[in-house]
Amino acid sequence: MTRVVVLLSGRGSNFQAIVEAQLPIDIVAVISNRPQATGLAYARERGLKTVALDHTAHPDRVAFDALLADAIEAHQPDLVVLAGYMRILSPAFIARFEGRLLNIHPSLLPMFPGLKTHERALEEGVKIHGCTVHFVTAQLDHGPIVIQAAVPVHADDTPASLSARVLAQEHRIYPQAIRWFAEGRLLNQQGRVNVRGDSTSQAVLSSGA
């Protein structure tokens, strides 16, 4: 079984979708930089091992990331899943886990890296928006793309309505990406990710309400 460590900071709806998808994985720990994260409470309810590492007690980012990396390594993961982990990771951390570190981002990368993606999509007047699962590299929100889902943007959308439409797709594509990883199907060659022997598309087009 693929050993997975999940990192999260808040609500944890993606984490919940991953749990509910009943993937062929063993979630060996759920770690949060915010002790009060709802996602951590959900993990506890499910009887999963949880670790709270409060970043406010460790002002030095590099030192905190080293502690975090040690806490992760203690569980010997094959894969580390960022599920709403809301802190920028230091280059040393990323180097340690590169190739086994996945993130979900609420935009069609490379458009709208960073924060407030739904607000920015509405400001730009784009007609299609979405989400991306990608391997994490040193450049923020730029790693090799595993799968994307696109949703329409409606004229009367607000950041909240658009975010909800995108989130429903996040909950589809993140479990799919993790399943591919667990099945050893992801081929990451020179920054391009293909899926071996699977007819399921890496592009999900939703007519989304």
Q: Which residues bind ligand GRF (CB under 6 A)?
A: 8, 10-14, 39, 83-84, 104-106, 131, 167, 170
Instruction: Output the residue with the shortest Cβ distance to ligand GRF.
Output: 84
- Check if the beta carbon of residue 185 is closer than 8 Å to that of residue 196: yes
Per DSSP (E only), the strands in the chain are 2-8, 25-32, 50-52, 79-82, 101-105, 128-135, 145-152, 186-189, 192-195, 203-205
User: Considering Cα of 114, then 17, then 145, then 164, what sign does the dihedral take?
Assistant: negative
Question: Rounded to the nearest 10 degrees, how much is the dihedral formed by the CA atoms of 31, 97, 60, 36?
Answer: -10
User: CB 106 → ligand GRF: shortest distance, Å?
Assistant: 4
Query: In the annotation, is 142 catalytic?
Result: no
CB of 53 to ligand GRF, least distance (A): 17
Q: Active site residue: 55, 58, 75, 105, which one?
A: 105
Q: Which residue, 96 or 118, has its beta carbon nearer to ligand GRF? A: 118
Nearer to ligand GRF by Cβ, of 63 and 115: the residue is 115
Is the separation of the CB atoms in 29 and 51 below 8 Å? yes
Q: Which is nearer to ligand GRF, 54 or 60 (CB)?
A: 54
Residue 157 CB, shortest distance to ligand GRF, in Å, is 16
Question: In whole angstroms, how close is the CB of 107 to ligand GRF at the nearest point?
Answer: 9
Residue 28 or residue 83: which is nearer to ligand GRF going by CB? 83
C-alpha closest to that of 31 among 92, 77, 95: 77
Q: Which are the catalytic amino acids?
A: 105
